[in-house]
Structure 1
Amino acid sequence: MSYTVLKMIHVSSVILSYLLFLTRGIWMMRSSAQLQQRWVKIMPHVIDTVLLTSAIVLAALIQQYPLVDSWLTAKVAGLLLYIGLGMTAFRFGKTYTIKVSAWIMAQIVFFYIILIALTKNPTIFL
């Protein structure tokens, strides 16, 4: 598979993942029954598996790796924080305020990860 096709798959899965995360958060704030649909529970895992797989293959293809290349290390650390905040927003948050706050913070982290990807600079704000 070519680099261009793989990057397109990766970027497309980033967009789909974010749009679904955004939608789920809106549904959560509205206490929508949509959140209980089977596809809403399954699709994030499918999309994120494609996203992570394409990320690993891309990293290997360009021969840049976490713990070696600082920008990729920052993306992985950001991803782990994003996942933790997402889990707090949709599963483990005890109150509405905690859930919404975690959802908003996860989006901030998501956009930081995007900035790192575009600039290859983990210290973009320093």
Structure 2
Amino acid sequence: MLYLTLKQIHFTAAMLSIGLFFLRGSLQLAGVPWRRWWPLRYLPHLVDTVLLGVAIKLAVLIHQYPLVHGWLTAKLVALLGYILLGHWALRRDQPRRRAVAAFISALLCVGYIVGVGLTKSASWRLL
């Protein structure tokens, strides 16, 4: 029962995190000053903290760890790429062309992370 509860929290936090990133990135590209709205500045950090904490708890609970199990290693590497690309996409001083490329690339990383999480396979593909 604990596993299912944690898995549901993880799934919900992941969807919130992705949605908030998509919203902030879209507003950024549209030139809307979203940083003035405190929920968009602070809520993503809270959601991502819950997401990461539950992910660690789930890994310990099912005895599968990054650098031991390939699918979790792939998720971790893609997560680091997503964080870096997301940072570039949301920077204020980023040229628009580079911000768009970083935003799309970050969303592709998220898609890969979700696919690997659903299939438990690092070789997840769109087709």
Give the TM-score taking structure 1 as reference length.
0.94
Q: CA deviation at 1:11?
A: 0.2
Which residue of the partner structure matches residue 32 of structure 1? Answer: 32
> SS at the partner of 1:64?
coil
Q: CA deviation at 1:87?
A: 0.4
Give deviations 1:66-112, integer Å, cap 9, x for gaps: 00000000000000000000000012763011111101100001000
For residues 93 and 65 of structure 1, the distance between their equivalents in structure 2, rounded to whole angstroms, comes to 37
Matches within 5 A, 1:18-57: 18-57=18-57
Which residue of the partner structure matches residue 106 of structure 1? Answer: 106
For residues 23 and 117 of structure 2, the distance between their equivalents in structure 1, rounded to whole angstroms, comes to 23
Matches within 5 A, 1:1-126: 2-91=2-91, 94-125=94-125
Structure 2 stretches of 5 or more lacking a match?
none
Q: Alpha carbons of 1:47 and 1:31: their partners in 2 closer, same or farther (altered >3 Å)?
A: same
Number of residue-to-residue matches in the alignment: 125
Letter in 2 for 1:74: A
Letter in 1 for 2:10: H
Q: CA deviation at 1:124?
A: 2.3
Give deviations 1:8-45, integer Å, cap 9, x for gaps: 10000000000111111110111112332122111110
RMSD: 1.4
Identity of aligned residues (%): 42
Structure 1 stretches of 5 or more lacking a match?
none
8 Å contact from structure 1 (residues 93, 99) kept in 2:
no
For residues 17 and 6 of structure 2, the distance between their equivalents in structure 1, rounded to whole angstroms, comes to 16
Give the TM-score taking structure 2 as reference length.
0.93
